[in-house]
Amino acid sequence: SGSVSADVWQAHNRWDDNWERRYQHWVTTQWTEDIFMNPSKPPLYKYATDCSDASYAMRLIFSFENRLPFVVNDPTRPGQLTSNRKSTWDHLSQGHRLRMFLDYMADMTSTKSLTQDTFPVALHDIKTGDIYVAPGVHSYQIVKVTETGIAEVMASTTPKKSRHLLKT
Distance from C-alpha of 46 to C-alpha of 165, rounded to nearest angstrom = 12
Residue 120: asked if its preceding bond is cis (omega within 30°), the reply is no
Q: How many other β-carbons are positioned within 10 Å of the β-carbon of residue 67?
A: 12
Mean pLDDT, the chain, whole residue set: 94
Query: Looking at this protein, which amino acid is placed at residue 133?
Result: V
Looking at residues 96-111, what average pLDDT do you find? 96
pLDDT at 2 (0 to 100): 39
Whether the predicted pLDDT of 98 surpasses 70:
yes
Indicate the pTM of the whole model.
0.94
Looking at residues 36-58, what average pLDDT do you find? 97
Whether the predicted pLDDT of 67 surpasses 50:
yes
pLDDT at 3 (0 to 100): 43
What are the CA-CA distances from residue 12 to residues 64, 70, 91, 95, 107 (Å)?
Answer: 10, 12, 21, 17, 27
